[in-house]
């Protein structure tokens, strides 16, 4: 099945015990569109978003998500997967949860989530967006030879183009891009988590083709505040991704997300393991 909508993909249903069931569709594969979806696995951003949704929905938590740390244990299959949230500690202002997800005989993911409410205190926000307005940039669909299936659900608008395969200098491998989900729904926690993994590895912009393929090992997202429908009514956020290190078969990449008004929304750090070359 490849015709699942994003809202359907983010829907979790109780399994009658302590878990929640997600249906993982080939339409959210990380395989290139030029290949059958079963050549890949469910997109890591979708799995992270489902982990966040499972913690909130399964435990009835209402305070904003502050951080989510995900370890990708194995590639899930395109079938039903169970997400089991556990409350580690809960209080009035902060709650800690874990989520385990997978399929029979195949643990796929474990995650830790921190939820917490805002309280009065000092304010310091040094992160600033310096972005070309989204309405001045044309949509930039990814080349289907390497663009994954899941990107059909994302509208990309790259500030200076995709910059692929050596168009960025090695000393500054950076991507600046506006993204939103193609349903144009207001930005929420799940969609922000989905988009924080919504581009190819940034090191692809500084290295020549063919691209060095990698797999996500872990991802940590820190969200800065409560996302309301007014934060981004049309779903847009501006992202800046940068490769911080590439060595020894590992890559570490950081990203920042901003609301359309320039307010910082989240930081993300992802560790990737490069696949052996043949």
- How much is the pLDDT for 256? 98
User: Does 3 have pLDDT greater than 90?
Assistant: no
> What backbone torsions phi and psi does residue 271 show, to the nearest 5 degrees?
-105, 130
Who wins on pLDDT, 278 or 190? 190
User: Does 72 have pLDDT greater than 80?
Assistant: yes
- How much is the pLDDT for 278? 61
In the DSSP assignment, the letter for residue 134 is G
Q: What confidence category does residue 117 fall into, taking pLDDT thresholds of 50, 70 and 90?
A: very high
Edge-first strand order for the sheet with 20-23 is 13-14, 20-23, 80-90, 94-103, 106-116, 65-72, 214-223, 264-274, 250-258, 237-247, 174-181, 154-158
- Give the contacts of 121 (CB within 8 A, at least 6 positions apart): none
Q: What confidence category does residue 1 fall into, taking pLDDT thresholds of 50, 70 and 90?
A: low
Cis peptide before 210 (omega within 30 of 0): yes
Domain ranges of the chain: 6-117+134-274
- How much is the pLDDT for 2? 67
- How much is the pLDDT for 83? 98
User: Does 148 have pLDDT greater than 90?
Assistant: yes
pLDDT digits (tens, 9 = 90+) for 26-51: 999 999 999 999 999 999 999 999 99
> What is the pTM (predicted TM-score) of this model?
0.96
Q: What is the mean pLDDT of the chain?
A: 95
For 57-80, give the DSSP string: HHHT--SPEEEEEEEE-SPPPSSE
> Which residues are registered as beta bridge partners of 112?
69, 98
Q: Where are the alpha helices (DSSP H) in the chain?
A: 6-9, 44-59, 189-195
- How much is the pLDDT for 146? 82
Among candidates 204, 136, 130, 193, which has minimal Cα distance to 166? 204
Q: What mean pLDDT do residues 66-93 have?
A: 95
- To 10 degrees, the CA torsion angle through 242, 246, 249, 254? -30
- How much is the pLDDT for 138? 93
Q: What confidence category does residue 161 fall into, taking pLDDT thresholds of 50, 70 and 90?
A: very high
CATH of 6-117+134-274, one of 3.40.50.700, 1.10.3720.10, 2.40.160.210, 2.40.420.20: 2.40.160.210
> Which residues are registered as beta bridge partners of 22?
81
Q: What mean pLDDT do residues 8-14 have?
A: 97
pLDDT digits (tens, 9 = 90+) for 208-247: 998 899 999 999 999 998 899 999 999 999 999 999 999 9
Residue with tokens 């800046």: 240
- How much is the pLDDT for 65? 97
Residues 73 and 105: their CA atoms lie apart, in Å, by 12
Q: What confidence category does residue 78 fall into, taking pLDDT thresholds of 50, 70 and 90?
A: very high
């Amino acid at each position: 099945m490849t015709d699942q909508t994003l809202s359907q993909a983010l829907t979790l249903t109780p399994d009658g015990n302590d878990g929640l069931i997600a249906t993982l569709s080939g339409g959210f594969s990380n395989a290139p569109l030029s290949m059958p979806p079963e050549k890949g696995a469910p997109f890591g951003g979708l799995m992270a978003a489902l982990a966040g949704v499972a913690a909130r929905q399964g435990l009835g938590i209402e305070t904003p998500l502050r951080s989510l740390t995900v370890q990708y244990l194995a590639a899930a299959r395109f079938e039903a997967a169970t997400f089991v949230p556990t409350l580690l500690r809960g209080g009035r202002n902060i709650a800690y949860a874990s989520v385990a997800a997978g399929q029979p005989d195949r643990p796929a993911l474990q995650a830790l989530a921190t939820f917490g409410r805002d309280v009065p205190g000092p304010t310091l926000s040094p992160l600033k967006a310096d972005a070309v307005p989204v309405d001045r940039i044309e949509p930039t669909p990814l080349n289907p030879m390497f663009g994954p299936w899941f990107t059909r659900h994302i509208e990309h608008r790259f500030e200076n183009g995709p910059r692929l395969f050596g168009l960025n200098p090695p000393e500054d491998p950076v991507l600046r891009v506006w993204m939103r989900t193609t349903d144009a729904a207001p930005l929420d926690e799940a969609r922000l988590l989905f988009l924080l993994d919504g581009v190819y590895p940034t090191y692809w912009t500084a290295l020549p083709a063919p691209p060095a393929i990698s797999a996500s090992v872990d991802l940590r997202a820190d969200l800065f505040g409560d996302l309301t429908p007014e934060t981004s009514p049309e779903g847009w956020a501006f992202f800046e991704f940068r490769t911080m290190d590439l060595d020894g078969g590992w890559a570490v990449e950081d990203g920042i997300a901003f609301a359309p008004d320039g307010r910082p929304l989240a930081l993300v750090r992802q560790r990737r393991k490069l696949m052996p070359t043949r």
